[in-house]
């Protein structure tokens, strides 16, 4: 394991975040956070971490630990009638292989998936198929911090620029070579 995502519900207080960050630092890892108060949850991406780090965080907190990085996305269709179809398509028996969970949340759904197993285009394409039945639109909210390799994969796909790779991101190169230390 070189990294993983954790989910904390309800939103952790400063002490719980500090505990998680301290455990991660003790294992040579670092945590990036996204807090989403509207959903009552926080996601953390723990990078450069192993199984021992995940086990220590699991033991010390009430966090849900995913074994690898995941993407969590809240999808709010403009037509409420689309919600049952989204829940079935993303959470039912025919869901994409990488989808780990899909649950209703207010006027939308929250879908969690492994982007290495189901590409962003597959999941969002399925969302669009279902909401297009109602000529609806959608608003998305990204709930998780993402690893650099996924950011670059999303950018490369969206821009049709396969040359966009993690090794071409200036900030990453500066960090790897400790230029800013």
* Mean pLDDT computed over 86-103: 96
pLDDT band at 174 (very low <50, low <70, confident <90, very high): confident
* Mean pLDDT computed over 141-165: 93
* Mean pLDDT computed over 85-89: 97
Domains of the chain (ranges; CATH) run 3-65 (3.30.70), 71-142 (3.30.70.100), 147-181 (no CATH)
**pLDDT of res. 179:** 78
What is the share, in percent, of the chain residues with pLDDT greater than 90? 86
Q: Which of 86, 148, 176 is nearest to 123 (CA)?
A: 86
Is the predicted pLDDT of residue 86 greater than 80, yes or no? yes
Q: Which of 114, 105, 91, 166 is nearest to 141 (CA)?
A: 105
pLDDT band at 1 (very low <50, low <70, confident <90, very high): low
63, 57 contact by CB (below 8 A): yes
Is the predicted pLDDT of residue 85 greater than 80, yes or no? yes
Q: pLDDT per residue over 18-28, tens digit each?
A: 999 999 999 99
Instruction: In whole angstroms, give the CA distance from residue 122 to residue 115.
Output: 10
Q: Which residue has the higher pLDDT, 2 or 28?
A: 28
Q: What are phi and psi of 49, to 5 degrees?
A: -125, 150
- pTM of the predicted structure, to 2 decimals: 0.90
Contacts of 141 (CB under 8 A, 6+ apart): 36, 38, 73, 74, 76
Instruction: In whole angstroms, give the CA distance from residue 120 to residue 111.
Output: 12
Is the predicted pLDDT of residue 158 greater than 60, yes or no? yes
4, 65 contact by CB (below 8 A): yes
Residues β-bridged to residue 142? 73
pLDDT band at 181 (very low <50, low <70, confident <90, very high): low
Contacts of 23 (CB under 8 A, 6+ apart): 53, 56, 57, 60
């Amino acid at each position: 394991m070189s990294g993983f995502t954790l989910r904390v519900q309800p939103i952790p207080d400063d002490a719980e975040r500090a505990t998680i960050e301290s455990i991660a630092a003790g294992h040579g890892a670092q945590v990036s956070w996204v807090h989403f108060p509207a959903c009552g949850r926080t996601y953390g991406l723990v990078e450069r971490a192993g199984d021992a780090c995940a086990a220590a965080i699991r033991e010390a907190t009430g966090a849900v630990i995913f074994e690898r990085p995941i993407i969590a996305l809240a999808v709010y269709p403009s037509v409420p009638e689309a919600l049952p179809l989204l829940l079935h398509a993303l959470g039912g028996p025919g869901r994409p292989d990488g989808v780990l969970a899909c649950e209703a949340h207010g006027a939308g759904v929250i879908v969690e998936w492994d982007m290495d197993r189901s590409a962003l285009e597959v999941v969002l394409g399925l969302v669009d198929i279902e909401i297009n039945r109602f000529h609806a639109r959608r608003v998305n909210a990204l709930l998780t911090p993402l690893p650099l390799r996924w950011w670059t994969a999303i950018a490369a796909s969206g821009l049709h620029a396969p040359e966009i790779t993690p090794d071409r991101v200036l900030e990453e190169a500066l960090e790897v070579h400790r230029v800013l230390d």
